[in-house]
């Protein structure tokens, strides 16, 4: 059983600043409820995996995550843990903040133990990226202003995650629902991408010209 996070650890959590913290108020005012809304999901646990899913180590890791995706765009996992396909032997594990070992979670340690001496890599990437969530019936139109992927629902179905660029910023784009997307930019690009998304949303905050 995972240990409960120490009071000092919990205290330090409130001192952390997310990569797009300075844009929080702008996200609130720039969102148009019922049309398109933007927010930052802070401090998710993210783990980079490199492993052959068909190897013994891959099977052990499979038992921890609840699955490993087999093809480009696929997402696997179970419960609150999702595994996104980045390459034939490269994956991104995304889990709630509480899964991080600094808060008493055991996901990262469990993955390291599952890999054991097998060929591969388990790397804590939680501080490497942040998460933007874009939702609403106009979310796709906003993304289409700066993404070369075909985002039509006949092509990009819910549950698909792909590496791409949005506004010339490299991201992992995960379509989590019919009108909802999660974007995973590197932390150093969060401010730029957040401002780009706000600018792309601006037309929907203005009244239509009769």
| Residue 176 and residue 152 share a domain | yes
Q: What is the CATH number of the domain that holds 92?
A: 3.30.70.1520
| Residue 122 and residue 149 share a domain | no
Angstrom distance (rounded) from CA 140 to CA 24: 21
Where among 72, 97, 127 does a domain terminate? 127
As beta bridge partners, residue 135 has 37, 180
Indicate the SS3 state at residue 143.
helix
**How many domains are contained in the chain?**
2
For 159-170, the pLDDT digits (tens) are: 999 999 999 999
In a domain, 11, yes or no: no
144: how many CB neighbours lie within 10 A of its CB?
15
In a domain, 14, yes or no: no
Cβ contact 130:19 at 8 Å? yes
pLDDT above 70 for 9: no
| Residue 160 and residue 123 share a domain | no
pTM score:
0.91
| Residue 27 and residue 61 share a domain | no
In a domain, 76, yes or no: yes
Sign of torsion over alpha carbons 93, 95, 99, 103? positive
In a domain, 6, yes or no: no
pLDDT above 80 for 122: yes
- Structure tokens, 114: 């599952």
| Residue 115 and residue 72 share a domain | yes
For 133-154, the pLDDT digits (tens) are: 999 999 999 999 999 999 999 9
Among 96, 53, 98, 55, smallest CA distance to 76 is for 53
Beta strands 131-135 and 120-124: pairing type?
Answer: unpaired
Angstrom distance (rounded) from CA 47 to CA 89: 14
Show the domain range for 116: 43-127
| Residue 118 and residue 83 share a domain | yes
| Residue 186 and residue 147 share a domain | yes
Cβ contact 195:144 at 8 Å? no
Q: What is the CATH number of the domain that holds 172?
A: 3.30.1360.120
For 177-201, the pLDDT digits (tens) are: 999 999 999 999 999 999 999 999 9
| Residue 113 and residue 99 share a domain | yes
Cβ contact 11:179 at 8 Å? no
Angstrom distance (rounded) from CA 146 to CA 119: 38
| Residue 144 and residue 123 share a domain | no
């Amino acid at each position: 059983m995972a240990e409960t996070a120490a009071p000092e650890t919990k205290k330090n959590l409130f001192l952390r600043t997310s990569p797009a913290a300075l844009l929080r108020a702008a996200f609130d005012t720039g969102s148009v409820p019922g049309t398109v809304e933007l927010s930052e999901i802070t401090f998710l646990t993210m783990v980079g995996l490199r492993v052959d899913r068909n190897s013994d180590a891959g099977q052990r890791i499979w038992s921890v995550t609840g699955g490993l995706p087999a093809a480009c765009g696929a997402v696997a996992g179970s419960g609150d843990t999702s595994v996104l396909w980045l390459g034939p032997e490269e994956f991104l594990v995304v889990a709630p903040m509480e899964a991080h070992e600094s808060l008493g979670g055991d996901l990262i340690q469990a993955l390291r133990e599952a890999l054991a001496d097998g060929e591969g890599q388990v790397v804590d990437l939680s501080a490497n990226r942040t998460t933007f969530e874009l939702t609403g019936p106009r979310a796709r139109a906003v993304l289409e202003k700066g993404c070369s992927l075909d985002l039509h629902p006949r092509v990009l179905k819910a549950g698909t995650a792909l590496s791409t660029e949005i506004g010339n910023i490299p991201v992992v784009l995960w379509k989590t629902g019919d009108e909802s997307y999660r974007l995973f930019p590197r932390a150093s690009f969060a401010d730029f991408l957040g401002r780009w998304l706000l600018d792309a949303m601006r037309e929907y905050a203005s009244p239509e010209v009769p």
